[in-house]
Chains A and B, each alone.
Chain A
Amino acid sequence: MDRSEVVNIVNDFLIEEFEIDESVISEDAKFIDDLDIDSLDFVDIVVIVEKNFGFKLTAEDLSKMPDLKSFYDFITERVNQ
């Protein structure tokens, strides 16, 4: 799976499942400050990533991904391992 496919899937669930306005989604968007993702939303992100990409994010993984760029990169790397 290439990075652009990962970006499309992630952006789709952010817009559809999390009802985040498309205009605030960008590579440098911060989860907490820009996307208004809170601690409960992170629980749902773990569920949705498992459903879409087949692996489980840990709290430690998430702590290393402050913005969408690092999130896209991390998922792309994991799904292609």
Chain B
Amino acid sequence: MKRVVITGIGIYSTIGTNLNQVKDSLFHGRSGIGIDPFRNELGFMSPLTGIIETPDIKSVLHRKLRKGMAEQGEYAYMATLEAMKTAGLDIDYFEKNEVGILYGNDSSAIPVIDAYNKIIEKKDTSLVGAGSIFQSMNSTVTMNLSVILKLKGVNFTVSGACASGSHAIGLAHMFISQGMQEMIVCGGAQEINAFSMGSFDGIGAFSQRIDAPQKAVRPFDRDRDGLVPSGGAATLIVESLESAQRRGAKILAEVVGYGFSSNGDHLSVPNVSGPQISLERALKQANLMARDIDYVNAHATSTPVGDGNEAQALFNVFGGKTPVSSTKSMTGHEMWMGGASEIIYSILMMHNDFIAPNINFNNPDEHSEKINIIPETRNAKLDTILSNSFGFGGTNSSLIIKKFK
């Protein structure tokens, strides 16, 4: 089995549009949450959302290369530019070497809605426009980036709900460790627009704490009342150790474990045993004991049942000492992107010797009081980190990264 390392990271998020901004936000516990007045006009139960800066994509990409990109594709392109820069890669390298792409994405609402409206108005599909089909498919991110970057290796999108980005990295680990690919562009992307979140809002999953948006996401806190949707994109360059050393690349972390499972239980209500199997499998693959994990970046989204069940699973495996925090307390729920972005947040903590706070954790409940939640930034040397991602339908993914030695 080949060793698998991360040599490039890039992020475009609600807590910063580059690595430096994001590192500062994580360290200082800054929230990216706000109110979208349009959601009030639309009758949303909750107008809370992550607030993101619109990227100036026109200045970096010609129309021909961006006309098939939806909102989340633009975020993914910006994140990928930064990941390529940190990895010391350019398109010339991708043209001359077989590089793949595995990216998490599980929706593309606006192009579908726009096409529907056009067809109803014109009764003529030829007036929908050429970009729509390429924007509207779940694979929009991988199809666009693979063309723009001239990638010639494995190429598909991972749609695993809120674990999509995490599964993408896990699958990259599998492809590379087995010698099937040398390098894969990985990540996760998430659209933020109101229409993509209407049906999710409709099931009452979002926080109602509109009087204090930045206090709304409170993972593990006794008074949590739901998640806040968010988004952006995160890209990682994942490659074999031999490839990284051959290129003389700086190695940011090693991917040592990928665990997964399915609850086989309920569409929206998570359980304890499924996540527990996922993180035990990750530990087993990494050949590590629970005590070897220095920090857990929890999935915890701030929902009453989900956080409680994750706390139980974490206690069952790690006991009460391992430090735990949910960066979603600051970012909101980045969904299809979250599994990838949270590996980047973990790498930033690893390289800057701190644990990002689980902000708004004021009072534990019966489950979270048993685990070691970090409510304020803590200085810490982190060698080994586990990151959880769980999604609708009971899909679970756990990744373990280590400082490269």
Contacts and interface: CB of A to CB of B under 8 A. Distances in A.
Interface of A: 17-19, 36, 38, 40-41, 43-44, 46-47, 50, 56
Q: How large is the interface on B (under 10, 10 to 19, 20 to 34, 35 or more residues)?
A: 10 to 19
A56 B130 contact: no
Contacts of B127: 46-47, 50, 56
A43 B129 contact: yes
Contacts of A19: 62-63
Contacts of B63: 17-19
Interface in B102-139: 124, 126-131
For the complex, would chain B's binding face be called helix, strand, loop or mixed by DSSP majority? Answer: loop
Contacts of B128: 47
A44 B66 CA distance: 14
B156 to A, nearest CB: 22
23 contacts: A17-B63, A18-B63, A19-B63, A38-B64, A40-B67, A40-B131, A41-B64, A41-B130, A43-B126, A43-B129, A43-B130, A44-B129, A44-B130, A44-B131, A46-B126, A46-B127, A47-B126, A47-B127, A47-B128, A47-B129, A50-B127, A56-B124, A56-B126
Contact of B130 (A36, A40, A50): A40
Contacts, number: 28
B91 to A, nearest CB: 19
A61 to B, nearest CB: 13
Given A44-B67, A44-B130, 20 more contacts: A17-B63, A18-B63, A36-B64, A38-B64, A40-B67, A40-B130, A40-B131, A41-B64, A41-B130, A43-B129, A44-B129, A46-B126, A46-B127, A47-B126, A47-B128, A47-B129, A50-B127, A56-B124, A56-B126, A56-B127
